[in-house]
Amino acid sequence: MRITSHGHSCITVTTVDGAILLDPGSFSQLTSDDPPGTVFDGVDAVLITHQHPDHVHGASVLEAVLANPTLEVFAPQVVSLSLREQLPPASRSQVRAVAAGADFTAGGIQVRALGGTHATIHHSIELVANLGYALGQGEVFHPGDSYQVPVGLNPQVLLLPVMAPWAKMAEAVDFAVATGAKTWVPIHDGLLNERGLELFDRQIGAVATAHERTYRRLTPGVSYTIEDLR
């Protein structure tokens, strides 16, 4: 299993059986000039955690579905309905609604959907559906926008949201420790400048070391095996 970051919460996970793209959103690097292409190239399935635009850039997902009749998209019901309504009838079956507790195969990879609700931003802001996705035999866990600890899951690699309007560093660290993951990979950091990235990496990294965990930032566009991250 190999992991590639495309910025913010957008990650590609690849195995010998296929490739999954998670959360291709508006804060991520969705296209590349060298070599030219998009993050959807070579991908068999797209997993979307929730409806916020930094996690799903609808126009790009729709374009990818129309360009590839075998591409599958899995998302919470509200997202899947929105995408399907914008597709011609022949392409709508490529987009599937999933809910917490669902087990399915995407891109040749076993997936379990977990969670259910986005973290609270403010009591005046409506909560939306959010799914976390455990990939393979639980090797990698992407929680979307939530610090809900998955029951019965002990991931090797936790994709850890580190900065958000709904989060604070103490909560991020407590969540990471509670999951039992040996490796913490920071995501959801598209609003941080260089000073912010250095601060979060230094402080969360120090806590990870104190708990005998590995904290590892991925260079966007570079592919890592799980063994690389230990």
Q: Using one digit for the tens of pLDDT, what is the confidence trace for 142-178? A: 999 999 999 889 999 999 999 999 999 999 999 999 9
In sequence order, the 6+-apart residues with CB closer than 8 A to the CB of 138 are 112, 153, 154, 155, 156
d(CA 166, CA 170): 12
Q: What is the pTM of this model?
A: 0.96
Burial of 16 (0-12, 13-18, 19+ CB in 10 A): exposed
How large is the average pLDDT for residues 76-86? 98
Residue 78 pLDDT: 97
pLDDT of residue 135: 98
Phi-psi region of 180 (alpha: psi -120 to 50; beta: other; left: phi over 0): left
